[in-house]
Structures are given as C-alpha cells and as structure tokens.
C-alpha cells in the first residue's frame, strides 16, 4: 500500500470560473455559494474531502480580479495568500473563456500548479498558452459531475505524504451559522440587481435548534440608508421573497423545518471597514 497523503489545495481563478461549484461538487456538499454574477464568494471557505488514501483540504477563494475598492483588493490578496500557503494550486479556467490578465497572474504561481478547464458541458476548451507551466491539465463539468474522479487522482499525486490533518468526518472550518447566512446572500444575488447584492452582508443574530425545528433570525445589512428601501421592496415584497426562498433552501440543506426572520439594517459602509468585514467572516 502506498503512503497516505494530505495537504491544502487552493482553487484559484477569475470570478465566475466555477471555483465554488467545483468545490461543492468534489465534496458532494453545498458549502460555497454560487452565482451567475461575478465576485460572490467572500473570504475563504475550506472543505475537507477524506478518502481512504488521502485527505484534501480544499480552499475556495474569492476570484482574482482587478477591482479597485479596498475590499476587492483585500479579497484578491487573500486569494493569493491562500495560493502561497497551499501544497497544490489549481487554476480554474472556463472552457469558453479566453486567457487574460487573471490567468497571466496566476500562471506565475509556484508549482505544483494544475490547470482545470471548467464548464466543459457547454464549450470545447480552446488552446492555452504556457502549457508547460502545468503539472497536469484536466477537463471537467462540475454540473454534470464529469472529470471529477480524474481530477481528484491528479491532485492526490501532488499532495505531500503525511497523516490526515482533520478527523475523517470533518467537513469545514466555517460555522453552520455562517454557511446559513451565506445561503441568504446567495438568494440576494438572484433577487436584486446592480450593486445591491454586493452591498449586502448577512449576519445571523439568533440560532435556536429546538430539536424539531430551527429558528433563525438574521440581519440583512446594507451600506447606505437608500438601499434599505430597495431591499425591502414595495410593500415588503422583495424581503418577503428573499426570506421565503432562503428559508426553503435552508430547510432542504439542513433537512429540517426552518423558521427564518430577516431584518434589514443599515451598517454604514461596512465593506470599507476591514475589521467589520472580517467580523462578518468575509476576510481572513
């Protein structure tokens, strides 16, 4: 029998490359929120995949991009730090996209670096420059579950030899509260337009598991007074929709009845205040 392997695997790529979707697909659990809109993921989420021969500590990262706001820059920095600390780096690149600034930047990362062409269900991957930099190239569709096993084996080969870092039933370092708040934020990305979802933070205030059901009270924070009305909507319609869709997802995900109460509050410019953003779990 070969030696056990264990290590950190950073999932990197521009916003929308499919990092969060791939992480969830590899784990078979929804840990990271997913959106058709760029820059949804905030902060770092780890998910632990334990196999008989290896343990993979998968790190989902916010996208590497060129946003100018400090919050965006901090997130890019966080992604690059995660990359540096990892044992294996995985660059995700949409099969239908063309090579650009984020890829140029990520391809410079230290080896071992793997290339994953994502979303192969809807595009045939085109050529990639600097192929020589990659220790392996994989084609996957997280949506169809295609290519995942080959990718897992490919990553395993580059993990250092060593014992598991986490117990075999350990899934993530994020609290259930945080993950639940993230699901509310995911719905907000589908419901609201323009910059509104980017200004939203969700903070769970109360979490009561009665055994029969779960009672959750959460604040939906916005950055400016004028955004409150938009989030609430005419006659409270939008907030009602946000609450009922989020409640549905939470009860499916947690497999128990959930009561969800949402309050919209103004937390002026929270994303410009590093300490506050960190406290909310959006920065390391």
Ligand X SMILES: Nc1nc2c(ncn2[C@@H]2O[C@H](COP(=O)(O)OP(=O)(O)O)[C@@H](O)[C@H]2O)c(=O)[nH]1
Q: Which residues bind ligand X (CB under 6 A)?
A: 13, 15-21, 34-36, 40-41, 63, 118-119, 121-122, 141-143
Asked if 20 interacts with Mg ion (CB under 5 A), we say yes
Judge whether 202 and 208 are in contact, CB under 8 Å. Answer: no
Q: Residue 20 or residue 141: which is nearer to Mg ion going by CB?
A: 20
CB of 5 to ligand X, least distance (A): 26
Asked if 16 interacts with Mg ion (CB under 5 A), we say no
CB of 12 to ligand X, least distance (A): 9
Beta strand 54-60 pairing with 113-118: unpaired
Asked if 82 interacts with Mg ion (CB under 5 A), we say no
What separation in angstroms does the CA of 77 have from each of 21, 62, 281? 22, 9, 16
141 binds, among ligand X, Mg ion, none (CB under 5 to 8 A by kind): ligand X
Asked if 41 interacts with Mg ion (CB under 5 A), we say yes
Beta strand 214-222 pairing with 201-209: antiparallel
Instruction: Please choose, from the candidates 21, 45, 11, the residue with its C-alpha nearest in 3D space to the C-alpha of residue 116.
Output: 11
Q: How far apart are CA 207 and CA 1, in angstroms?
A: 46
Instruction: Please choose, from the candidates 109, 153, 154, the residue with its C-alpha nearest in 3D space to the C-alpha of residue 13.
Output: 109
Q: Residue 183 or residue 267: which is nearer to ligand X going by CB?
A: 183
Structure token pair of residue 170: 């350990």
Q: Residue 20 or residue 74: which is nearer to Mg ion going by CB?
A: 20
CB of 118 to Mg ion, least distance (A): 12
124 binds, among ligand X, Mg ion, none (CB under 5 to 8 A by kind): none
Beta strand 258-266 pairing with 214-222: parallel
Q: Residue 264 or residue 271: which is nearer to Mg ion going by CB?
A: 271
Q: How far apart are CA 173 and CA 60, in angstroms?
A: 12
Of 14-22, 82-90, 165-173, 212-220: span binding Mg ion (CB under 5 A): 14-22
Q: Residue 76 or residue 239: which is nearer to ligand X going by CB?
A: 76
């Amino acid at each position: 029998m070969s030696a056990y392997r264990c290590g950190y695997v950073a999932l990197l790529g521009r916003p929308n490359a499919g990092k969060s979707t791939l992480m969830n697909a590899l784990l078979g659990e929804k840990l990271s929120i997913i959106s058709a809109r760029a820059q949804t993921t905030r902060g770092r989420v780890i998910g632990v995949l334990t196999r008989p021969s290896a343990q993979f500590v998968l790190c989902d990262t916010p996208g590497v991009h060129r946003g100018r706001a400090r919050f965006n820059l901090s997130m890019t920095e966080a992604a690059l730090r995660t990359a540096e600390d990892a044992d294996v780096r995985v660059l995700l690149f949409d099969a239908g996209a063309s090579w650009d600034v984020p890829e140029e930047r990520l391809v410079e990362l230290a080896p071992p670096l793997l290339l994953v062409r994502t979303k192969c269900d809807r595009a045939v991957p085109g050529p990639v420059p600097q192929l020589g930099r990659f220790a392996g190239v994989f084609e996957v569709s997280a949506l169809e579950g295609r290519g995942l096993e080959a990718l897992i084996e490919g990553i395993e080969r580059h993990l250092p030899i060593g014992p598991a870092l986490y117990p075999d039933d350990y899934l993530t370092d994020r609290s259930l509260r945080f993950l639940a708040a993230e699901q509310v934020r995911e719905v907000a990305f589908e419901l609201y337009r323009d910059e509104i979802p980017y200004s939203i933070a969700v903070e769970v205030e109360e979490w009561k598991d009665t055994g029969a059901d779960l009672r959750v009270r959460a604040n939906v924070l916005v950055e400016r007074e004028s955004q409150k009305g938009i989030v609430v909507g005419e006659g409270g319609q939008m907030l009602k929709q946000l609450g009922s869709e989020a409640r549905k997802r939470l009860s499916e995900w947690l497999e128990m009845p959930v009561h969800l109460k949402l309050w919209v509050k103004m937390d002026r410019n929270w994303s410009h205040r590093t300490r506050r953003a960190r406290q909310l779990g959006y920065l390391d």
